Structure 1
């Protein structure tokens, strides 16, 4: 079976692709031996109807008499305004089929796992799909139960006295291909504050691409008022109860976007800090729609105008240094890499005498000037964790933390706060289970995994410190983390389907809305690194084939959303005990990449476990 990967594209490219796109995928299976099979392939597009306001071209039912194109257009029909999705789909149905067609209002987004098959002499078309999620009216692509590969049958035929083809029998569901999702919707990010009000946390939504631009701010604010996605809700603050939008959001005039919210939007009332948080949340959520000035009016209070970019610092992904400080482990020591920032500086936090017997490490910084270190170190036949924090430029003694027995994964810092009450919390896997640790050196705590049982092989934390990507039993999940006196807690996980991969072994965040995953390909027994949207709907293949060795560890350095870059510039991984850079092709990291030259290197000693200061 060969799977089609839909590449992440800029909006202009999306419009062109809709007019020029072809067949759905390339392979076949599932037809009896005595039946001739015709594979549905790409054909020339016979035309389309254009929308207004830059809307993507939309194919009508009678635009083709080719079954292949017709099926593709049918799988596009639900894309766009969800309120009229059913009506658009019914236009592809025969009058009798349309009259009896009943389907849930949610749209099921699917990836074609095999080529749609047509039997010559038969009107039936068989679709084998993998469900990626369910798109609701609130723009959230929610998780769908993992039902594996599902089969749907369409009956496609001509009707006497009418032009073109019709679906005369359809499954009772609104189907939308993942390719059509990226064409007829724009992926947008709205933001909610974490519980400490220190950083904004992203929440992905899908905005119909045919929505007039002047209506977009109103829809975004409606989504903010409705609250965060269910899986993210435990980790963030919703807008205060009773918040409403007063009137409509007018079109931008005099380079000013005007928003008027009810007095309940501020909690506590008349709090300047609450007002400042609200306007930063709005500015980030409305960033693609912002003009020079945001005019914000709360209830009957005087309006406030904001025309600076100081709100950008509220997003931790924006604050990441570019390029990153890069480190690795060599001969039991944390070493800096050459040709990177700070290459000649001391290793942060750690005194030289403590930098020994290191197996893996994590370095992080707070929004202020503190730095955090976590080292997995060998002590005889056991491994221990050593943790510490210090002001920027300082070093300190590390605190020893005992670890349970078993193989240990890469430590990662999650919450790093300048507030002593919040402190810093990290995560680490030991023997396939997840544990948390604190910078104060207190004992590690087992973190309950609320999803399906399985060996936890990788955990990666987004720059916001609340969203977690985790690999359990070879499957990828998203979850949100909260912390209280009893330690961290994880929300109900969201399973992420990665159609290109049969199984996943490693993960890290590439942008605030995408991750890089490594694993075994679905179409052959080879290993690949895939860059995918958080919901699995839009992917590229930075490394489609890196051999057969399992990737045991993946480290990416996320890029800021203001750069416009769709993927990270720096990606590293470990396989078969060796470290690699993902550039135009995998490049093995050697001792020549160390900032400090090595004389008389020990035989067989190689750099391992590359990581970043994050």
Structure 2
């Protein structure tokens, strides 16, 4: 496919203004990784839509789609009551009931295709069949846990209500409380809460969901409960919770920028309370004003929420991002529009025979990792690793060679003396350190591992194995990174080939749509939602590179680059990177296209 044809297809695949590249952005206006809020769909702004009623539609498919919205359309303690309104009297016992309790789990599903319906039979009943993908279980603590069912199809039977003018009623249905992913987007808001890492040096984001109708006091109450309870299952091994026995005493109170939280918290010394104040400031980052923190009715700390966020940014914001690519076997900076332009932080003799590269800024140091080809006919690949002030003067070759390696990724650490990273090599995942030593990380996933990407906080990764996407928490013990149990991400893409982070809780994936054409999707870190960003690409996309920051760092939010057909492309807008946009190309270089694009930040 020609570049012009691909560019036109990508442009046509863009979502309408305000939706492209946003999915469901985080609830917070300020995020620790530098992301910023962007335009949202109307359903996500202001007051959420009213709960659907059984009489809203007498057409079977629309009726069932409304049923899939009902349980999610309000407070959890009324979820069963809203769903039961759609049921005939004879079917009320088919849905296991938990009336008037908030301890309700919603089974969230994504429709794979438009539901199918049958015309009414002689008894006046009809059926609707749903073909679904299991997304997860939305729990009372706001987490979206992994699916507990492998069901791919649900069948509903319904009849006309009496009198017939009042619509339809369900007579047969699955015995789980279902909600669609679109209902989750319509009636819930994503919330980001933060837990400290094991070293208590960095905050790590955790995605939650809260009904959009919840008032401010309720939001504060729920956030404190979440922090006092536990992190999401998949993240737990990489973070530290509050002391066991921490509990909220009554609900949060206050108004007009002055809030009060009362806790039981064992061992509530000054250091623990200070850390909790920082957690609360970031976990309530849509609020300003002051929050009084009480321990067993005694005021112990007052947090100015905005000032706390400004003075404790949790981890360094980094530098203005700059773009690079590999051109004729060497890393070269790119010049795209008015964006900042960088220089390669390597001595020229070290910048040769490069296949992939990864640079990261760590205070006044640059971390550099190159995949280079060695001499000989087999062209085995090795890592070349180094760190220090720019330019990185000394790079060390890895102690192992491989037939094929991915672009390496750095785990951003506060310990500048012991940097480490991850790379996929010959279908397995490896850790490496600043000297180039490599060791395999065993994973309980099927299929070969082909690529890996680390989040900005350094305690979460995403990787591709066997054509599927996974996330996992990272813990550091004695300077050595270890992974928690991987969580698979639900996506309609198959044969996923590439992944990277484009925001605090959002990923960009490349893979195949149902018609097997290549596409790029934006996906939530828990798989709760996904949005197509580009379709009909025409060739596989083996690599993507994202920038998880925002406008305050010189790039549009959700900026990424990718490679297809041995050419580098960018979004915002979708255009291919021309050879003329490659800088510092020495005379006599082979004319080619830039590949393997990436960001330094």
Summarize deviations over 1:450-481 as a string: whole Å, max 9, x none. Answer: 22x20111211111111111111001111111
Aligned pair 1:113/2:112, yes or no? yes
Q: CA deviation at 1:314?
A: 5.1
Aligned pair 1:378/2:373, yes or no? yes
Instruction: State how 1:423-462 maps to structure 2 within 5 Å.
Output: 423-441=418-436, 443-451=437-445, 453-462=446-455
Distance 1:364 1:210, change over 3 A: same
Q: Residue in 2 aligned with 1:613?
A: 600
Aligned pair 1:176/2:179, yes or no? yes
Aligned pair 1:238/2:241, yes or no? yes
For the residue of structure 2 that corresponds to 1:542, the secondary structure is: strand
Q: CA deviation at 1:83?
A: 2.3
Q: Residue in 2 aligned with 1:41?
A: none
- Give the one of 74, 86, 90 matched to 1:92: 86
Summarize deviations over 1:84-107 as a string: whole Å, max 9, x none. Answer: 212211121112211343269421
Aligned pair 1:212/2:215, yes or no? yes
- Give the one of 331, 337, 359 matched to 2:355: 359
Q: CA deviation at 1:321?
A: 3.6
Contact 2:281 2:305 in 1 (8 A): no
Q: CA deviation at 1:77?
A: 1.1
Aligned pair 1:411/2:408, yes or no? yes
Q: Residue in 1 aligned with 2:157?
A: 155
Q: Residue in 2 aligned with 1:553?
A: 543
Instruction: State how 1:71-470 maps to structure 2 within 5 Å.
Output: 71-79=64-72, 80-102=74-96, 105-122=104-121, 123-144=126-147, 147=150, 150-161=152-163, 163-253=166-256, 255-264=257-266, 266=268, 269-271=269-271, 274-288=272-286, 290-299=287-296, 300-306=298-304, 308-312=306-310, 319-322=317-320, 324-339=321-336, 343=341, 345=343, 347-348=344-345, 350-366=346-362, 368-380=363-375, 381-391=379-389, 393=390, 395-418=392-415, 420=417, 423-441=418-436, 443-451=437-445, 453-470=446-463
TM-score (norm 2): 0.85
What is the alpha-carbon distance in structure 2 between the residues aligned to residue 320 and residue 84 of structure 1?
A: 45
Distance 1:498 1:302, change over 3 A: closer
Distance 1:186 1:360, change over 3 A: same
Q: CA deviation at 1:14?
A: 7.7
Contact 1:456 1:471 in 2 (8 A): yes
Contact 2:508 2:520 in 1 (8 A): yes
Q: CA deviation at 1:575?
A: 2.0
Q: CA deviation at 1:141?
A: 0.8
Summarize deviations over 1:53-92 as a string: whole Å, max 9, x none. Answer: 9343111122332323211211111103222212211121
Distance 1:102 1:483, change over 3 A: same
What is the alpha-carbon distance in structure 1 between the residues aligned to residue 314 and residue 580 of structure 2?
A: 33
What is the alpha-carbon distance in structure 2 between the residues aligned to residue 560 and residue 18 of structure 1?
A: 20
What is the alpha-carbon distance in structure 2 between the residues aligned to residue 485 and residue 59 of structure 1?
A: 54
Distance 1:562 1:226, change over 3 A: farther
Distance 1:320 1:569, change over 3 A: farther
Contact 2:521 2:532 in 1 (8 A): yes
Q: CA RMSD in A?
A: 2.9
Q: CA deviation at 1:308?
A: 4.3
For the residue of structure 2 that corresponds to 1:440, the secondary structure is: coil
Aligned pair 1:577/2:566, yes or no? yes
Higher relative contact order (CA 8 A, sep 6+): 2
Q: CA deviation at 1:249?
A: 0.9
Q: Residue in 2 aligned with 1:488?
A: 481
Unaligned runs of 5+ residues in structure 1 are 20-52
Distance 1:475 1:305, change over 3 A: closer
Contact 2:551 2:557 in 1 (8 A): no
Distance 1:473 1:150, change over 3 A: same
Distance 1:282 1:316, change over 3 A: closer
What is the alpha-carbon distance in structure 2 between the residues aligned to residue 336 and residue 316 of structure 1?
A: 30
- Give the one of 476, 492, 498 matched to 1:506: 498
Q: CA deviation at 1:203?
A: 0.6
What is the alpha-carbon distance in structure 1 between the residues aligned to residue 209 and residue 511 of structure 2?
A: 28
Distance 1:559 1:409, change over 3 A: same
Distance 1:265 1:126, change over 3 A: farther
For the residue of structure 1 that corresponds to 2:273, the secondary structure is: helix
Contact 2:328 2:589 in 1 (8 A): no
For the residue of structure 2 that corresponds to 1:363, the secondary structure is: strand
What is the alpha-carbon distance in structure 1 between the residues aligned to residue 148 and residue 250 of structure 2?
A: 39
Summarize deviations over 1:202-230 as a string: whole Å, max 9, x none. Answer: 11111011223331110111111111001
What is the alpha-carbon distance in structure 2 between the residues aligned to residue 359 and residue 312 of structure 1?
A: 40
